[in-house]
Amino acid sequence: MKYTLWAGLFLWFGMNSSHAQETPVRLKVLCYNLRFGELASLEELASFILEQKPDAVALQEVDCRTYRDRTPRQHGKDFITELGFRTGMFAAYGKTIPYAGGYYGIGILSRYPMASVERIYLPKSEEHGKEQRAVLVADIEYREGKYFTFACTHLDYTDTEERQAQVKKMNEVLLSRPYPVIVAGDFNARPHSTEISKGMSAWKTLSGKEPTSPADKPVSRIDYIFCYPEDRWNSVEVVTYQVRLSDHLPIGAVVELK
């Protein structure tokens, strides 16, 4: 009788412990092209991010210590550091080109510590490449000893062949990662383009169908959130925010990591 009772208790605790381990982790991610702060202050951008309470944010067109004639109120500001401070999030920056006395690039904000961060340049051809582009990759520790990879990118805006080469390189970098991956960014390509329809075919799309650019009268979806592998992620919600602090609309997704 005692043996049966203890065996039953052991089985019950074991099943519940296993169930707890298998409970999906819910994450909220955002993606936003900031247009180098031309249309909004960093305070306004930080306030929007704070309102959404995200776990990870991918940001494009992020200036650092630039002096653009078009944005005098942003002169000398380190966007990603200030946004990190104002949101209380960890921040990482990936410079892509020197510009206007400072730098221009991409950034990541994370609620959780980043165990590693790497900026990887994407291909730029002499024939078609306009600017150097990159993917910024962070391994985020969302629980003690548990990680997912979060990547931010901003692809070339001039040529589909250039973007196809960049997507190919990005896949080589991200599909071999040891952790489940989310990549978000401004791909400068519509859903039917080769770089999206074929180049990102291994990924699960976490974006809606609404256009994201230009923000005042959106006609094209060029901003995306993708995850890999598909069987590790459940899509809970996708959002295109009607917020006009940039020339892009921000997008978001709530996902469960199994």
Inside any domain, residue 144: yes
pLDDT attached to residue 21: 58
pLDDT attached to residue 217: 96
pLDDT attached to residue 242: 97
Q: 105-162, pLDDT tens digit by residue?
A: 999 999 999 999 999 999 999 888 889 999 999 999 999 999 999 999 999 999 999 9
Inside any domain, residue 18: no
pLDDT attached to residue 253: 98
Inside any domain, residue 16: no
Closest CA to 168 of 182, 152, 184, 155: 155
Structure tokens that stand for 239 in this block: 């959002």
Count of other CB atoms within 10 angstroms of residue 16: 10
- CATH number, domain of 157, equals 3.60.10.10
HEC secondary structure over the chain: CHHHHHHHHHHHHHHHHHHHHHCCEEEEEEEEECHHHCCCCHHHHHHHHHHHCCCEEEEEEEEECCCCCCCHHHCCCEHHHHHHHHHCCEEEEEEEEEECCEEEEEEEEECCCEEEEEEEECCCCCCCCCCCCEEEEEEEEEECCEEEEEEEEECCCCCHHHHHHHHHHHHHHHCCCCCCEEEEEECCCCCCCHHHHCCCCCCEECCCCCCCECCCCCCECCEEEEEECHHHEEEEEEEECCCCCCCCCCEEEEEEEC
Lookup result for tokens 């899509």: 235
Mean pLDDT over 6-20 rounds to 49
Mean of the per-residue pLDDT values for the chain?
93
pLDDT attached to residue 107: 98
Inside any domain, residue 254: no
Closest CA to 251 of 230, 87, 220, 231: 220
Q: What is the CA radius of gyration of the chain?
A: 20
Q: Are 112 and 140 in contact, with CB atoms under 8 Å apart?
A: yes
Asked whether the predicted pLDDT for residue 2 surpasses 50, the reply is no
Please give the residue range of the domain that contains residue 180.
Answer: 24-248
Asked whether the predicted pLDDT for residue 20 surpasses 60, the reply is no
Rounded to whole angstroms, the Cα distance separating 37 from 16 reads 49
Inside any domain, residue 257: no
Report if pTM > 0.75.
Answer: yes
pLDDT attached to residue 77: 98
Inside any domain, residue 9: no
Q: 42-96, pLDDT tens digit by residue?
A: 999 999 999 999 999 999 999 999 999 999 999 999 999 999 999 999 999 999 9
Inside any domain, residue 5: no
Domain count, the chain: 1
